């Protein structure tokens, strides 16, 4: 796990809500924020979906608005996971009010480029209403993700 996030999140009042071999999920109801940190360089889609189903349960349990997704440990870009996350999961989160999505990407040019290439076709599949309700920002740090 990103050691910085592991230390920073509890110091900022986040409680660990879920974890498996591939990810850790934290929540802070005061900040109305859920944070998911990927802890491995690759996440099999089964565990990816399992993790985000747990995030969904947390999102339903209180009024969360912001989701920070720390993908900095990833070294594999998996298009089917991104597609499921973007089209299926994110659109469901709109109903719960979890609409501010902040992303921390690996410091890998090819990974960032892969995200850029894959993002627009996925956005094109969303309705105008869904696009207008989602607030997606790529950030360089946890502090920035909490501020924006």
87-140 pLDDT, tens per residue?
Answer: 999 999 999 999 999 999 999 999 999 999 999 999 999 999 998 999 999 999
CA 92, CA 83: separation in Å to the nearest integer?
14
CA dihedral sign of residues 65, 71, 42, 76: positive
* Stated pTM of the model: 0.92
CATH architecture of 3-147: 2-Layer Sandwich (3.30)
Residue whose entry in the numeric block shows the structure tokens 């802890």: 39
Residue 3: per-residue pLDDT: 55
22-58 pLDDT, tens per residue?
Answer: 999 999 999 999 999 999 999 999 999 999 999 999 9
């Amino acid at each position: 796990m990103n050691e910085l996030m592991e230390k920073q999140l509890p110091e900022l009042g986040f409680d660990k809500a879920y974890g498996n071999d591939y990810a850790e999920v934290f929540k802070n109801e005061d900040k109305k924020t859920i944070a998911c940190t990927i802890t491995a360089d690759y996440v099999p889609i089964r565990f990816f979906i399992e993790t985000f189903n747990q995030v969904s349960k947390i999102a339903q349990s209180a009024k969360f608005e912001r989701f920070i997704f720390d993908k900095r440990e990833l070294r594999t870009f998996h298009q089917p996971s991104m597609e499921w996350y973007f089209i299926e999961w994110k659109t469901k989160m709109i109903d719960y009010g979890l609409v501010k999505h902040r992303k921390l990407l690996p410091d890998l040019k090819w990974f960032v480029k892969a995200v850029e290439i894959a993002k627009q076709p996925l956005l094109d599949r969303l309705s105008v209403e869904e696009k207008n309700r989602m607030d997606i920002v790529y950030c360089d740090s946890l502090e920035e993700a909490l501020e924006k």
